[in-house]
Chain A
């Protein structure tokens, strides 16, 4: 069973605020998922190529040719807060003495 502390940490990393009952609920769900992976881990897969991608198509490339962008108005139309040009967010302070 995954601990409540671990659930809290995962939620923090994903910037999610969870209530106590939600944490319990997700802990149970994630635990059952992990149990399922435990089953897979018990298989002997020596010599099996890892599947590091689900897509069948490989080697897809694009020419380095520019096309017009969506444009400033269109881009910031969906922003929660702007100054008309940029996204406006709470100040980011980076250092402390």
Chain B
């Protein structure tokens, strides 16, 4: 039987605010001594009064708008009750029935396709909540240790509809979500650091059946690749069980990255019953249209709009346009370049070719951490355009920009890289090469066209690549034609 997988994702992103969601402790806890970033409020002492961080609300609304959600007119917090050592109060302050955002969507692009394929993935809801502390375990397995520095750091939980049907699609959704969150600058979105976490709900059903199968929740994935691998494993596990006639149990499973498998998580409570109730210490919030509009006005141009502009106005190919639009720093770099350069195709080729290669060598994904700046690239392209330098020299200059960050003029002057367009100088070199290579001349005269290529190579070598290749070609063929006649 053919089975169809049904996947929904729950993504937690830490907001990169200065302080925690309900108290004035710093939210930047990384590298701090355990329990040093903790106060009466985030450690849940009796009688304290939490107050919502303005910036958390603002970023939640901004995220909702960027993900095409409806923003609630009134929103409130609720207590989600359960016991776990990393939860200091015995409940997590979260949102239950009146989340800040609902009914959104993301357009997912198939990055492998040469032509952009779109699919809309629904977003059920986004709510604000507080992060828990962190447990570490001793090797003997006797004790665990709890650090509450992370407790109270603001989180957004972004819940998707079960609209995905493959592990690759789930990964693409995550990638697109990350791009959008990066554009609006609300979170660092780093899975390795835990500022973006993802749980997956996976079920299978016979192809064509409408009713959903029993869903299994998978946790503990630490990378986008891990999410994809865990879902792939889980789909296969469930398919094998179904084919063998076994029942799939509704449970939570943990992904073991090293082994590439999912394992049953021991059930802490018989069945989850969080006994949500309104958080009595936090009053509800009424959001006005004016507030929403003010936040809307701060939204930058997002990936889909950029893609539109690149393909429609600049006539870039879908593949190139998507590569640029889905990489916020590259898009910012490109957009800066096009303010003063309208050779979009050349910009794209250099950006996605040689410059991307240099970035790979440096293992950086953010072009602004390197030494090249938009004005470098624009000037290099102008110099190629007016034939001051060749493409080959441009590569040398880019190398030099990456290592020194110097301005293009200084590099050209220092390395003596101006292209030779002086015909008499080039002619002298051509004649030298003709005299030094009688065999190649003979070959050429006997009809071997390849010999001309060798001669061009020799000329470029003598001029250290600085001769204008177009002029070299024209003049060499003219000289060779003279020899033919003679």
A residues neighboring B (CB under 8 Å): 9, 12-13, 15, 52-55, 57-67, 69-72, 75-76, 83, 85-97
Q: How far is the CA of A13 from the CA of B269 in the complex (A)?
A: 8
Query: Is the CB–CB distance between A60 and B51 below 8 Å?
Result: yes
Query: Is the CB–CB distance between A91 and B83 below 8 Å?
Result: no
Q: B79 CB to closest chain A CB, in angstroms?
A: 13
Cβ-defined partner of A64 (8 Å) among B17, B38, B284: B17
Given known A67-B24, A86-B35, contact A92–B135 (CB-CB < 8 A)? yes
Q: How far is the CA of A96 from the CA of B266 in the complex (A)?
A: 6
Q: How far is the CA of A57 from the CA of B286 in the complex (A)?
A: 11
Query: Is the CB–CB distance between B275 and A75 below 8 Å?
Result: no
Q: Which residues of B contact A62 (CB under 8 A)?
A: 24, 51-54
Query: Is the CB–CB distance between A90 and B39 below 8 Å?
Result: no
Q: How far is the CA of A90 from the CA of B168 in the complex (A)?
A: 39
Given known A91-B138, A91-B142, contact A65–B285 (CB-CB < 8 A)? no
Query: Is the CB–CB distance between B263 and A97 below 8 Å?
Result: yes
Count of A-B contacts judged by CB separation below 8 Å: 141
Query: Is the CB–CB distance between B35 and A64 below 8 Å?
Result: no
Query: Is the CB–CB distance between A94 and B266 below 8 Å?
Result: yes
Query: Is the CB–CB distance between B40 and A86 below 8 Å?
Result: no
Query: Is the CB–CB distance between B35 and A76 below 8 Å?
Result: yes
Cβ-defined partner of A61 (8 Å) among B57, B85, B137: B57
Q: How far is the CA of A89 from the CA of B19 in the complex (A)?
A: 27
Query: Is the CB–CB distance between B283 and A61 below 8 Å?
Result: no
Q: Which residues of A contact B36 (CB under 8 A)?
A: 69, 71-72, 75
Cβ-defined partner of A91 (8 Å) among B143, B273, B282: B143
Report which residue of B56, B141, B275, B284 has the largest number of chain A beta carbons within 10 angstroms of its beta carbon: B284
Q: How far is the CA of A54 from the CA of B280 in the complex (A)?
A: 7
Query: Is the CB–CB distance between B53 and A93 below 8 Å?
Result: no
Query: Is the CB–CB distance between B52 and A95 below 8 Å?
Result: no
Q: A64 CB to closest chain B CB, in angstroms?
A: 4
Q: B71 CB to closest chain A CB, in angstroms?
A: 15
Does any Cβ of A come within 8 Å of B18's Cβ?
yes
Query: Is the CB–CB distance between B278 and A53 below 8 Å?
Result: yes
Q: Which residue of A lies closest to B97 (CB)?
A: A52
Query: Is the CB–CB distance between A95 and B285 below 8 Å?
Result: no
Query: Is the CB–CB distance between B145 and A52 below 8 Å?
Result: no
Q: Which residues of A contact B370 (CB under 8 A)?
A: none
Q: Which residue of B lies closest to A95 (CB)?
A: B263
Q: Which residues of A contact B54 (CB under 8 A)?
A: 61-64
Does any Cβ of A come within 8 Å of B270's Cβ?
yes
Q: Which residues of A contact B138 (CB under 8 A)?
A: 91
- What 1/0 mask marks residues of chain B from 155 to 173 whose CB sits below 8 Å from any chain A CB? 0000000000000000000
Query: Is the CB–CB distance between B143 and A13 below 8 Å?
Result: no
Cβ-defined partner of A86 (8 Å) among B24, B52, B146, B269: B146
Q: Which 6 A-B pairs have the closest CB atoms?
A: A64-B55, A86-B145, A67-B24, A87-B146, A62-B51, A61-B54
Q: How far is the CA of A94 from the CA of B269 in the complex (A)?
A: 12
Q: How far is the CA of A92 from the CA of B17 in the complex (A)?
A: 30
Query: Is the CB–CB distance between A69 and B284 below 8 Å?
Result: no
Query: Is the CB–CB distance between A93 and B141 below 8 Å?
Result: yes
Q: How far is the CA of A40 from the CA of B477 in the complex (A)?
A: 100
Q: Which residue of A lies closest to B277 (CB)?
A: A52
Query: Is the CB–CB distance between A88 and B55 below 8 Å?
Result: no
Q: A10 CB to closest chain B CB, in angstroms?
A: 9
8 A Cβ contacts from B126-154 to A: 135-138, 141-148
Cβ-defined partner of B19 (8 Å) among A65, A72, A91, A92: A65
Does any Cβ of A come within 8 Å of B429's Cβ?
no
- Listed by A's residue number, 26 A-B pairs whose Cβ atoms lie within 8 Å are A9-B270, A13-B269, A53-B280, A53-B283, A55-B280, A58-B285, A61-B52, A62-B51, A62-B52, A65-B24, A67-B24, A69-B25, A69-B38, A86-B145, A89-B145, A89-B146, A90-B144, A91-B137, A92-B85, A92-B137, A92-B144, A94-B265, A95-B263, A95-B264, A96-B263, A96-B264
Does any Cβ of A come within 8 Å of B37's Cβ?
yes
8 A Cβ contacts from B33-87 to A: 33-40, 43, 51-57, 76, 81, 83-85
Q: Which residue of A lies closest to B141 (CB)?
A: A91
Query: Is the CB–CB distance between A90 and B146 below 8 Å?
Result: no
Q: Which residue of B lies closest to A97 (CB)?
A: B263
Q: Which residues of B contact A57 (CB under 8 A)?
A: 283
Q: Which residues of A contact B383 (CB under 8 A)?
A: none
Q: How far is the CA of A13 from the CA of B84 in the complex (A)?
A: 12
Q: Which residue of B lies closest to A70 (CB)?
A: B39
Does any Cβ of A come within 8 Å of B254's Cβ?
yes
Query: Is the CB–CB distance between A12 and B270 below 8 Å?
Result: yes
Does any Cβ of A come within 8 Å of B98's Cβ?
yes
Query: Is the CB–CB distance between A13 and B285 below 8 Å?
Result: no
Cβ-defined partner of A53 (8 Å) among B135, B263, B269, B284: B284
8 A Cβ contacts from B255-293 to A: 256, 263-266, 269-270, 273, 275, 278, 280, 282-286
